[in-house]
Amino acid sequence: MDKFLITGGRPLHGRVVTSGAKNAALPALTAALLTDERVVLHNIPRVRDISTLRSLLEDLGVDSSVTHEAHGNCIEIETRQLLNPVAPYELVKQMRASILVLGPLVARFGHARVSLPGGCAIGVRPVNLHLKGLEKLGATISFDHGYVDARANGLHGADFYFDTISVTGTENLMMAATLADGVTVLENAAREPEVQDLADLLNKMGANIEGAGTHKICIRGVSRLHGAEHSIIPDRIEAGTFLTAAAITGGELAVELCNPAHLTAVIAKLEGVGVQVVRDAGNGTSGGHTLTVKAGGKLRALDVTTQEYPGFPTDMQAQYMTLMTQAEGSSVITETIFENRFMHALELARMGADITMNGRRAVVRGKTQLSGAKIQASDLRASASLVLAGLAAEGETLIDRVYHIDRGYERIEEKLTRVGAKITRVSESD
Ligand code: UD1
């Protein structure tokens, strides 16, 4: 298992480029199951979750090929036929987003078997809404041997209300409804930019979707979808992580090729904390995709509550907690989306942070000098927060289990090294 060795205390300076959004690329790849024509996707991040999904698509019998491009990979997929409509436990346990094959497979092939994901490091994370919604569209759902089995002899349009806002739930049902007979209305749908990006792709494939990006999405079913070419949106969480890394090290960093409109809540928090975030105005035809953090002054403690988009993202909560260990005063961090998402706090405490937890609330008292230690990553975003802690700490930090960070960050150690961090990957064989 690889580790990261970080020597802290070096401000980040320079320019870093944002990769494509993992959470937009995953549903885009599964959307290609909805047509027998070729789907070409650009700006796919080179991260492990994408390789996991490609393995799953291969298991299903789907052809895909990858080419390197200037920014990310290009993946071409053609789903002429299906060998096997099964997403096995071995792959689903590595990546819960495997559930995204369910809607497309039932809609186009009438059958899917997907292993139930079970619990994960950050909470229970059920998929009941995905299943309830598919039932509403006419699928028959049953369970056996830890698998969910969904069958349909043609789906039909329906109205469905999400009790809880679910990002992948919205995406799964939106994809299934594109090929259903009649109109589907999804209420209390997720508004995340990744949902909107998926709707853009599906509409390019011939779907008829209105309202993506709002809480009410209307999908008029069509009899077939065709091939399309699409470029994935920038990763707002990766960009937010770099902005925070610059803030915590007191550096000056330009984060390029991001979409500032998707980062409003994160930028507002950083500004509230006392960090200057400069938006590149662009020149009318291009630009406007760079955010520059100018930090170095004192940081102020500021509370945060995670919310669905456009609120402060739960996927930035761990990184923000690390930032608050370096701010003057007490801040209350409230996690409303997942019930067990403070695993990083225990590791931060081992580095000297003063954090008290009570259920979904954590109180961080700063500023504390973090000191390098041997620590362990527990999940994807927690590991990003530990990298930030290592950058801010005095001395050396050794982070174990960085396979978690490789799931969603493209070569983070190389990107950080280019802007002045001292971080190296230590492989088992080294
Ligand atoms: C997606 C993101 C993940 C992010 C999360 C919240 C992907 C691949 N992953 O995960 O990075 O942290 O959104 O922004 O896009 N819920 C139910 N029943 C369901 C589905 C969800 O109760 O059927 C609950 C969950 O337990 C959670 C809440 O709804 O408490 C939100 O989860 P959801 O939006 O579904 O997260 P994911 O789509 O899995």
Residues 5-58 have pLDDT tens digits of 999 999 999 999 999 999 999 999 999 999 999 999 999 999 999 999 999 999
Q: Compute φ and ψ for 363, nearest 5 degrees.
A: -110, 125
- Outline where 185-316 has alpha helix (H): 193-204, 236-249, 264-273
Nearest ligand 1 atom to alpha carbon 337? 30
Residues framing ligand 1 (Cβ under 6 A): 23, 26, 96-97, 125-130, 164, 166-169, 194, 314-315, 337-338
CA of 426 to the centre of ligand 1 (A): 32
Assess whether pLDDT exceeds 60 at residue 284.
no
- Average pLDDT on 203-213 reads 98
What pTM was estimated for this model as a whole?
Answer: 0.97
The structure tokens listed for 17 are: 């480029």
Assess whether pLDDT exceeds 70 at residue 182.
yes
Q: Compute φ and ψ for 135, nearest 5 degrees.
A: -60, -40
pLDDT band for position 200 (50/70/90)? very high
Assess whether pLDDT exceeds 80 at residue 192.
yes
- Average pLDDT on 248-275 reads 97
Write the residue with the smallest CA distance to atom 31 of ligand 1.
166
Question: What pLDDT is recorded for position 340?
Answer: 84
pLDDT band for position 429 (50/70/90)? low
Mean pLDDT check: name the lowest of 81-90, 190-199, 361-370.
81-90
User: In this predicted model, what pLDDT tens digit does every residue of 120-139 receive, in sequence order?
Assistant: 665 667 899 999 999 999 99
User: Ligand 1 test: best mutation among 101, 168, 307, most atoms within 8 Å of CB?
Assistant: 168
Work out whether strand 216-220 and strand 13-17 pair parallel, antiparallel, or are unpaired.
unpaired
Write the residue with the smallest CA distance to atom 32 of ligand 1.
166
CA of 167 to the centre of ligand 1 (A): 6
CA of 125 to the centre of ligand 1 (A): 7
CA of 372 to the centre of ligand 1 (A): 33
Work out whether strand 159-161 and strand 183-187 pair parallel, antiparallel, or are unpaired.
parallel
Q: Which of 103, 97, 93, 77 is nearest to 22 (CA)?
A: 97
